[in-house]
Every structure is written in structure tokens, then in C-alpha cells.
Amino acid sequence: MPHAKTPLPLSGNGLMLWLAYNIVLMLGFPFIIGLLLTKKRCQRGLLARLGKVPAPLRCLTGSVVWVHAVSLGEVTAIVPLLKAMKTADPCQEIIVSTVTETGRELVLNQLQGVATHCYAPLDMWWAVTRYVRMLKPRLFLLVESEIWPNLLTCLKQHQVPVCLINGRISSRSFSRYRLVKRFMKPVWATMTLALMQSDHDAERITELGAHVNVVHVTGNMKCDQLLADSNAVDSMKALRTSLGISDGESVIVAGSTHPREEEHLLSAYQSLCDSRKHVVLVLAPRHIERASEIEGLIAQLGMSCVRRSQMAEKNPASTHQQSPRVILLDTRGELPYVYGLGFVGFVGGTLVPVGGHNVLEPAQWGRPVFFGPYVDHCRDLAHQLLQAGGAIQIKQPKDLATHFLRLLECPTEAEQMGRHALSVVQANRGVVKKNLELIGQLLNSSGPTAHDSVYPHLDSSMQSPDAMDNRFESSRTMFP
């Protein structure tokens, strides 16, 4: 249980800027409501977003850990951590709030019996205050990079420890935060613990205002996802059958793609099919609501398209068609396993200035990883993959067909690249354990809750977070 409410943890210029922020939110509130009402995917959970705490969350009996994970990628990252936390203390209540429907679906599918889902409240003072007072969380976990000033300020006021996990700050976000540094510095200072993906991320968050003694580099938790186990291999093989892909066909998997990327990939595939007929392209758009648009594009190029959602699941044989063809993966949750079908995996959001998605998904299957020049969201792991020889960075879209063809004609090279890619994943594992240890230390030192820590089995001789700043200090290069 958190301590009693304290005065607002702001003063002087910080208080004035916070008041200005809330005035702007109030003035924009009618527009925010209009936006939520016009977007179908935002209409679900509207009352919860406005501060009405769902009934199941009002009568929780165990200690509450509130986790905020915006969307699919953030939820994916925390699945191993939350399962480990629940195993350590089955009595605790884990609440995962998301903004998007894809995030909600993944919580329901992957964390059933582990966590309860709710929609995140808007960053309006009354909405976040109702949630904090009702849930009374003993710990708040913030995933990756979603920063809400009112929510974090309210948690600080109610003395709830805030831990940023799998933290990252992209170049674009860093530039924006620096523009409002005076306002955001007290917000960053609310962090009790900041567990960052890389040294670069740690440098940035410290520059923005987080206390150096709470910042630690632990790595990317996505490295601890174990998809390629025996059960997953069976699922992957079953997928090959249900997708209608024969043993004699080679597969290119292009995942999490964005507008304009599909055109480049389809063009490269079309060129490849001129010389290699037994190749199938599996195209998985980041937003599956774009499936009809992409299907139309495929038809315009004169290629055959099969939508996954329209395949005959009860009669897989009926899905078999002659190569070449494009399989449009317009379903959720299958992409991580479909990557295992490919001889190569292309990761989207990298040929266009989005910043990239999870480069580890094809790598953990031992597949060569392709990505474009825009990898700001996954820069550290993309660099490691390139250094290890497990990835190819496409400088120009026209080069896609050339590299696809080369690996098709040199399967030995593709296998070697895949092994190198997998070695990067293996070398970066163990992040969940590091994060659990630091979170456990935080809870052990949190006053009244120390006697019933979520992780009583952790070695008490380990240093506390406040005493571990030398580890980061030794490798930190501060911005001038």
C-alpha cells in the first residue's frame, strides 16, 4: 500500500508550467473527446479512459502492481517479466493498462491468469487521480517511453514508486523533450528506478532530468522471449500447413510494414519471381485495418493475393495455390511464429522514417534479418546484428531484390547469417532476471511494504539501487 498523500511535488516554475499544461488539456478536452468518438478503435473503454475505474478493479484483495504498456510492442516486451513476477508472488494483483486494442488483445491472450487488463486513463488530473486512489498500487511500472506528466506527478504525490522498464528514448522524442526540458525535468525526476535498454538511452534520460543514481542499463527484455522452443516449433509447422505453403516453396516474411514499404517489397518480390518461381511472400502490415488497401495494391500489380483471415482453417489443403503469390497476414498474434517459416525476415518501419520494430523476432528463429536505414527505435540491437553478420541493412529499396536473390541462391550463407543472428539474441538474454532483482530491491527498501516483498527470495546482500550508480557512472558519457 502506498503512503499517505503528500503536497503536490512541484514548486516555482515547475508548478506554473504544470498549471499551464493542465489549462491546455482542459481547453483541448472537447477535441480529445471528439477524436475518441470518431475513432472506432478508441470507442471501447471510453468511460475507463475518462477516469471511471472498471468494477473488477475496485475490489482487489492483493497488493497491486500497475503496469502501463501502450500497445502491442510494449506488452510483448513485458510478458516474460510479468509471468516471473506472478510466479514469485501469486497473491499480488497485476494490472496492465494499454491505450490500443492490439495491446489489450495481447494481454488477454498472453497474460491470462497473470494480469488483468484495463484501458489507460487520459492524462487529465481527475482521471489519473481516481485510478491511483482506487488501485492504491504499491508499484507502478512504466514500459519503454510513454511519459504522462499528470499521471507520474500524481503517483509521486501519493508516494508510489515509479519504475521505468525496458526504457528507451528515440532521437525524435529526445529532441522534443529537450524543447520542453524545464517542464519535463520534474516529471523525469519522479522516477524511482529507470532500467534502460542501452547506454545511449541511459545518457539521454539522465540529460533530460532523471537522477543518475536511479538509472541502470539492463538491456532489452525482448531478448528473453523464448518463441523457438519445442511447442513453438510445432506451432510454426502447423502454420506452414494452414497457410498452404508447400515444402518446396521458399518464404520471404515481411513483418510490421508501413505505407510505402509494401510497394517496395512487392516490387522486389515481383522482380525475384521473374527468375525464381517457387517463392512466397508473407506480408504482415503493422496495422491490419489496412489489409484491403494492400490487397488492392497487390491486385494492381497483377499478383495473386490470399488473405490469412479468409483461409479455410478446417481444410488446409484448400489453401494451396501455385507460386508465386502473396499471403496477406491480416491476423494478430501469428507474426512472431510466421517469421520461423522464412529463409529471411524483413522488419518493417525501417524503409520509411518510423524507427523500426522488433528485429529480434526473425533473429530468434535463426533467420537472417533485413531492415532499412531507419532503425532509431532498435538501434543498439540492429548494430549488434550487423556487427555479428546476422543482418543486412538495405540502403536503397531497389537493393531488396538483389539481396533476396543472393541468399536464395546461397542457402549456406543464409544459414550462417541466421546462426549469427541467433547468437546476438542469446548473448543478450538474462534481462528479465536483472530487472527482477532491481525491482525486488526497490520493494525491499520501500518502507512499510518491505516485510511482504514480492521477491523475498532475492539475495538480500545485493546492493540497493541507490548504491549501484557506480556501474552506470563508469560507462556514462554525459551530454555537454
d(CA 350, CA 372): 4
d(CA 183, CA 149): 9
- Mean pLDDT estimate for the chain: 86
pLDDT average, residue stretch 20-31:
90
Q: Please report where in the chains the cell 503496469 appears, as a residue.
A: 67
Residue 446 has pLDDT above 70, yes or no: no
Percent of the chain with pLDDT over 70: 88
Q: Please report where in the chains the cell 517457387 appears, as a residue.
A: 278
In our burial notation (b when 16+ CB lie closer than 10 A, e otherwise), range 131-147 reads: bbebbebbbbbbbbbeb
Residue 428 has pLDDT above 60, yes or no: yes
Short-list 340, 342, 331, 379, CA closest to 357 = 379
Q: Is the peptide bond before 2 cis (omega within 30 degrees of 0)?
A: no
pLDDT of residue 332: 85
Adjacency order of strands within the sheet including 305-307 = 305-307, 325-328, 279-285, 250-257, 344-347, 369-371, 391-393
pLDDT of residue 145: 83
β-strands 139-143, 162-167 pairing: parallel
Domains, the chain: 48-220+430-471 (3.40.50.11720), 230-427 (3.40.50.2000)
For residues 357 and 73, the answer to whether their CB atoms sit within 8 Å is: yes
Instruction: Name the H helices within 136-170.
Output: 149-157
β-strands 391-393, 193-196 pairing: unpaired
pLDDT band at 473 (very low <50, low <70, confident <90, very high): very low
Q: Please, which residues have CB within 8 angstroms of residue 308's CB and are 6 or more apart in sequence? A: 243, 327, 328, 329, 330, 331, 334
pLDDT of residue 455: 53
pLDDT of residue 323: 65
Strand segments (E) across 36-131: 64-68, 93-98, 116-119
Range with the largest mean pLDDT of 42-46, 235-239, 367-371: 367-371
Type of residue numbered 409: E
- For 237-281, the pLDDT digits (tens) are 888 989 999 988 999 999 999 999 999 999 999 999 888 778 999
- For 114-168, the pLDDT digits (tens) are 999 999 999 999 999 999 999 999 999 999 988 899 999 999 999 999 999 999 9
d(CA 61, CA 57): 10
Residue 474 has pLDDT above 80, yes or no: no
- Any idea how long the chain is? 480
The larger pLDDT score, comparing residue 431 to residue 464, is at 431
For residues 272 and 404, the answer to whether their CB atoms sit within 8 Å is: yes
Short-list 466, 432, 400, 426, CA closest to 263 = 400
The reported pTM is 0.83
